[in-house]
Amino acid sequence: MLKVGDTAPEFELPDASLEMLNIASFRGTHKVVLFFYTRDHSPPCTTEAIEFSDMEDHFNRFHTVVFGVSRDDFLSHADFIEKHGLSAQLLSDEDGEICRTFGVLQETEVNGIARCMVERVTFVIDRDGIVRHVVPVLQAKGHAAEVLKLVKEME
């Protein structure tokens, strides 16, 4: 997993409307919050996405963009956004390449079957592309507020 002080890798992923987002386009202008989550519509991931959406204006005040990343496809993201009225931009990493790069793709065994699951972790990246905080999601409720506090402290 990436650590504090590492340079965040540059990448490009599609959002829910199939527009490609290049993370490098924010270097020098914005801080970036990347919250990796397991899957659309799961209760804890829904709570987390709603809270990040509800706090979007607060993050914007600190020149910070927030993106959720999961292995769900863009159609699932579009449905998730519509169903819950989300404003958070969700990116599709269907093949798990970016999840692997950030070190959040974990192999687990469920009922004797090996599965790759995305670990719920949030990375706070400064304007220079350096990882400043790595925040495991211990509890979905309140996680976005915890991350916002860290972003504020970076000012």
Catalytic residue, from 32, 33, 45, 90: name it. Answer: 45
Catalytic status, residue 116: no
What's the chain's length in residues?
155
> 80: left (phi > 0), else alpha (psi -120 to 50), else beta?
alpha
**From CA 78, how far away is CA 112, in angstroms rounded?**
32
| Alpha-carbon torsion (123, 137, 151, 55), positive or negative | positive
CA distances from residue 4 to 1, 20, 107 in whole angstroms, order as listed: 10, 27, 23
Contact predicate 128/28, CB 8 Å:
yes
* Catalytic site positions: 45
